[in-house]
Amino acid sequence: MSTRVVRDMIGNEVTIEFPPLRVISLVPSQTELLYDLGLNEEVVGITKFCVHPKEWFRSKKRVGGTKTLHLDIIRSLQPDLIIANKEENTKEQVEQLGTEFPVWTSNINTLDDALVMITQVGEIVNRSEQALALAKEIRNGFDNLASAAERKRIAYFIWRNPWMSIGGDTFINDMIKRIGWVNVLSDKQRYPEMNLEDLKDKDVDIVLLSSEPYPFKEVHIAEIKQVLPNVEVMLVDGEMFSWYGSRMKKAVDYFRLLTAR
């Protein structure tokens, strides 16, 4: 073991024992990444939303939700590395953990950010070669993803009551752009709240209802159709649009089929 000082994606210097042997992941997409990089026993804690891989979801110690962490459980696991995210975790909790343990925090708004994260996480968990190969595979996949034949105008919903969509500074927006579609709310920031009536003058072609974090179902399609009767409404796999780890490998084929329909 040796000590290393690394810089995370929000600019913090983090001192870690290398290689880390007791890792906690606070982010579902980064948990799956650790698995696909070849870690197993090194990961001692995950959140209740870390549903991939299934065997970890069943067997690993759960440390609460991404925004409702159980700090006492985390302390009991004595991690030598905690992997967090600026947006998915609560600032106050992450900062508190940072006073007690090494916390490395990602900050993801684009595919390029995600690839940086993959390679940097690979470096700090002693899986650099695997991470570089994975990042290259994902990069090649998106580089070879043909743009949709038509530049459909998209409204993408992540929540209901209140209705919440996505702005132009989000990872989901970057995925929509890479498909070759246009987010009608790209002039907004982060996750704007709105009324369905607000879309009437946006010239929307398709409304996409994400499977997460709100579990949209068929019944919600009818609800939107009452307000926007001439707009196509689709249920989509939110993991493909918003998970910025190794799941992006699968997202390329998903997007190819989505735009070919």
Give the domain extent around 7: 2-141
Burial 163-194 (b: 16+ CB within 10 A, else e): bbbbbbebbbbbbbbbbbbbbbbbebeeeeeb
- Token couple for 123: 């470096």
Name the phi and psi angles at 113, rounded to 5. Answer: -60, -45
Q: Are residues 24 and 93 in the same domain?
A: yes
Question: Which residues, at least 6 apart from 80, have a Cβ–Cβ distance to it below 8 Å?
Answer: 16, 17, 20, 21, 22, 23, 101, 102
Distance CA 27, CA 175 (A): 19
Q: Does position 261 have pLDDT exceeding 90, yes or no?
A: no
Euclidean distance between CA atoms 111 and 151, whole angstroms:
20
Judgement on whether residues 67 and 114 belong to the same structural domain of the protein: yes
Task: Please tell me the predicted confidence (pLDDT) of residue 157.
Answer: 98
Q: Give the angle 124-127-132 at the CA atoms, nearest 5°.
A: 100
Q: Which of 141, 161, 181 is the C-terminal boundary of a domain? A: 141
pLDDT at 43: 98
pLDDT tops 90 at residue 119: yes
Place of tokens 């939107």: 224
Q: Which two tokens stand for residue 236?
A: 């989509």
The pLDDT assigned to 113 comes to: 98
φ and ψ of 172, to 5 deg: -60, -40
Which residue carries 């996409």 as its tokens? 208
- What integer is the mean pLDDT of 105-116? 98
The verdict on residue 147 lying in a domain is no
For residues 28-51, b (16+ Cβ closer than 10 Å) or e, as one string?
Answer: bbbbbbbbbbebeebbbbbbebbe
Which CATH number characterizes residue 192's domain? 3.40.50.1980
Whether 90 is in a domain gets the answer yes
Same domain, 164 and 76: no
Mean pLDDT of the chain: 97
Integer-rounded Cα radius of gyration of the chain: 19
pLDDT band (50, 70, 90) for residue 98: very high
Residue 58 lies in a domain: yes
